[in-house]
Amino acid sequence: MNKDDASASHRHQNLAGQIAIISGGLGDIGAAIALELAGRGVDIAIGDIRPTPEAQALLDGLRRLGRCGRYDRVDVADAAQVTQWVQTVEADLGVPTLIIPNAAVVAVASFCDMTPAQWNRDLRINLDGAFHLAQAGVLRLRAQQQPGRVVFIGSWAAHAPHTYIPAYCASKAGLRMLCQTMALELAEYDILVNEVAPGFVDAGLSGTAWRDHPEKREASLKMVPLRRLILPEEVAAQVAHLCDPANRHMTGATILMDGGLSLTSVTTAPKEK
């Protein structure tokens, strides 16, 4: 076995025996995380609100990697649904040891134009939903006296104000503090809690908008000092890094992967003329 083969072999075995639960698992980032972890030996439980047939392609991909996968329709804003989901996954695959709260939405509206419904939806899914999954998963780890990892999918918007998505910014800022308080409380149980905070990801809602308006994609790209956008697979690789058993000392940390956006002050959307 040459050096590259040995490295690849380690990559595909370093999480063997783990079970991951991923909310928002049918989105671009969620699906990339599922495939990345499956490639490292993890069985995968995916949750989303989309119809079950839409999960089939991803489940087939997991099986081609030799891993077990299941899909459940679940609204993360509903604490009872999330608790039931975690129980169902445990009965089928085992206790999830890698907990990935990923589900998120964004309402594009200024503070003055935002409706209460828009504000509530962003907070209910992005912050409450992440709390529900993290708590339900951690309680099962504690009950079984098992170590584990929680990796939140946050955003650089947690610390960089954006005037056109205030509810999203507030929800991600809250998520970061939730991550830190959990990390402090759970350290004694060997449950490590961290966040991956991407900048502009060329996928999901942004990717769709940019495909429809290529000029906006180009404008966003010019804002990034490194002059490149993030791929979902790159986010997934950072999640896997935080889940790696060899990574034993990072907790309460944020991996900021924004291409240098946080070093600039350009966070306000240009006004329509």
Q: What is the pTM of this model?
A: 0.92
Q: State residue 272's pLDDT score.
A: 44
How many structural domains does the chain have?
A: 1
CATH of the domain at 241: 3.40.50.720
Location of structure tokens 């946080």: 262
Tell whether 205 is covered by a domain: no
**Tokens 């912050």 found at:** 127
Q: Is residue 83 part of a domain?
A: yes
Range of the domain at 61: 3-199+230-258
- Whether 170 is covered by a domain: the verdict is yes
H/E stretch holding 19 reads strand 19-23
**What's residue 267's pLDDT?**
54
Question: 269 in a domain, yes or no?
Answer: no
3-state secondary structure string, 149-185? Answer: EEEEECCHHHCCCCCCCHHHHHHHHHHHHHHHHHHHH
Instruction: Name the nearest CA neighbour of 168 among 267, 239, 91.
Output: 267
Is it the case that residue 168 has pLDDT exceeding 60?
yes
In this predicted model, what pLDDT tens digit does every residue of 41-82 receive, in sequence order? 999 999 999 999 999 999 999 999 999 999 999 999 999 999
Evaluate whether residue 213 is within a structural domain. no
The DSSP call for residue 165 is: -
- Mean predicted confidence (pLDDT) in 263-271: 62
Q: Give the pLDDT of residue 268.
A: 52
Query: 201 forms bridges with which residues in the sheet?
Result: 230
Residue 236's contacts (CB-CB under 8 Å, 6 or more residues apart) are: 29, 32, 33, 35, 36, 37
Mean pLDDT of the chain: 92
137 in Cβ contact with 149 (< 8 Å): no
Of residues 105 and 12, the one with the higher pLDDT is 105
Residue 224 lies in a domain: no
Tens of pLDDT, residue by residue over 205-226, are 788 778 878 888 998 999 999 9
